[in-house]
Structure 1
């Protein structure tokens, strides 16, 4: 376990927040014009999928914040 503070934690939090804001704005700007005419069920599936996609790179990002490496320790 880490005993000294590292710059990666606050930097990572700010980067994650900024990336999620950009992702949310892009989705809010472009998704409705693309899927606005679809049925409610299809739109729900798309928005749930888009809402979960941001989780895919999160594990590696959190590993970097803790260890400074992008891959898990072996």
Structure 2
């Protein structure tokens, strides 16, 4: 399927995390939030510059700038 960053996904799409980009501090913050290689991510909704997402059963919001550092593979 198609590889892209999370900020390019549309509401309702499911994708699988391929890799995290950015500096070590950003990567560690995302890992601590639950982003791991092969995690399944669903984009639930967008609110301005924020994305409400579901990562392996956990729901939270991240800023669009963080989403640009999350490389994913589109599943549906």
Which structure carries more strand by proportion?
A: 2
**TM over 0.5: same fold?**
no
For the aligned pair, the TM-score class normalised by the smaller chain equals under 0.3
The structure that has the greater radius of gyration is: 1
TM-score (norm 2): 0.24
Structure 1 length-normalised TM:
0.24
Tell me: higher relative CO, structure 1 or 2? Use CA pairs within 8 A at least 6 residues apart: 2
